Structure formats: structure tokens, C-alpha cells
Amino acid sequence: MTLRPPAKPRAVKESLLIVGEGDADIAFVRHVKRTYADSLGRAVQEHNAKGKGGRNVLETARRRANNNRAYDKVVLLLDTDTDWDDADRAKARRSRIGKRGRLDVIESNPCLEAWLLKILGVTTEGDTKHMKRAFKERTGCEAHEPDWMGRLLGRDVLDQARENVSQLAELMNHMGIAKP
């Protein structure tokens, strides 16, 4: 009879569910997750709410977390341009989701492309259409196309932008990524 070596103890990480409003949000979360795979402090899962505004993101997160109560923390990543107002913010603050009942919201004002442009060092103001147009001019593609992220958003760029882009800092903090 051969003896097995003793099992190595595994560290149990807190679980984090990030519910993004659309494809671009999920592509970005996956890129950050891949880029910092060696230093994630939480087990991160992402879920796409498939658009329809901030209110739909909140309801999707509530349904998803209530079906699986194993999440320690739930974060919403949503745009403020559609179906998101003070009443929805209050509802999100009152929501109890996951093991510890924690629900946090990262708002993209007016849209994700606005803070992606900030990460790339472009300062501009305007509505969602303007931001999407400016983003496409800068990158040559739409935000949901993952190829541009590998070219333009390396670890050094993200580390530097973390100091200036509050939404990126929040996302990285929720994911348990320590500051360099």
C-alpha cells in the first residue's frame, strides 16, 4: 500500500460577483482579471445583465445572488445614462445580497467609455454618444472588442490610471488587487 502525501491546505478566498451592464463591462472586467491573475485577492465571477439600463443591472444582480447565496460580495458596474436615478441608488443601498448582504455600485458617468478614455489619458466631456465616438476615434474599435485592451491597457497603464480614475480604483479594490 502506497501512502499519499498529506493534502496541502488551500486558502479560501472571498467570492465576488460583478454584474456588468453589457458586453464592454464584462470584457473589461475579464481583462483586469487576466492582467492581475497573480494578485487577485478574491475569487471573481462576472455576469452580463445584457443592457437595459442600471435598474436592470440591479434586478439581475438580485436574482442571480438570491439563486446562489454563496457570494460574499456583489458589485454592480453600470452606466448612469439609462434607467438609473436617486430612487434606484437608494434601492441598491437597501438591498441585501450575498452572505454578508453587501452590494456596491460602480457608476460609469455617463458610460463606461468615459472612464476608459480617462485610463487612456484622454480628457473629454459630453453625453454617451460623444464618449462612444471619442472612444472609437482613439482606439479604432468599440469598447466591447477585447483586442484593444491587450494593446493599450497593460498592467503599467492600469496601475498608473488607478490613482486618477476612481471607478478603476474601486473595481480593483473590490477585486482585492493590492496597490503596487
> How many domains, the chain?
1
Per the structure, the complete domain to which residue 101 belongs is given by 14-174
**From edge to edge, which strands make up the β-sheet containing 14-20?**
42-48, 14-20, 73-79, 103-108
Residue 96 lies in a domain: yes
Residue 3 lies in a domain: no
pLDDT of residue 76: 95
Residue 5 lies in a domain: no
Residue 83 lies in a domain: yes
pLDDT of residue 107: 96
Length, in residues, of the chain: 180
Residue pLDDT, tens place only, 10-58: 777 788 999 999 999 999 999 999 999 999 999 999 999 999 999 999 9
pLDDT of residue 115: 94
DSSP 86-136: HHHHHHHHH---SSS--EEEEEESS-HHHHHHHHTT------HHHHHHHHH
Residue 6 lies in a domain: no
Residue 30 lies in a domain: yes
pLDDT of residue 100: 61
pLDDT of residue 101: 67
pLDDT of residue 180: 81
Residue 112 lies in a domain: yes
pLDDT of residue 96: 74
pLDDT of residue 12: 75
Residue 138 lies in a domain: yes
The low-confidence residues of the chain, meaning pLDDT below 70, are 1, 69, 98-102
Joined grid coordinates for residue 137: 476615434
CATH number at residue 99: 3.40.50
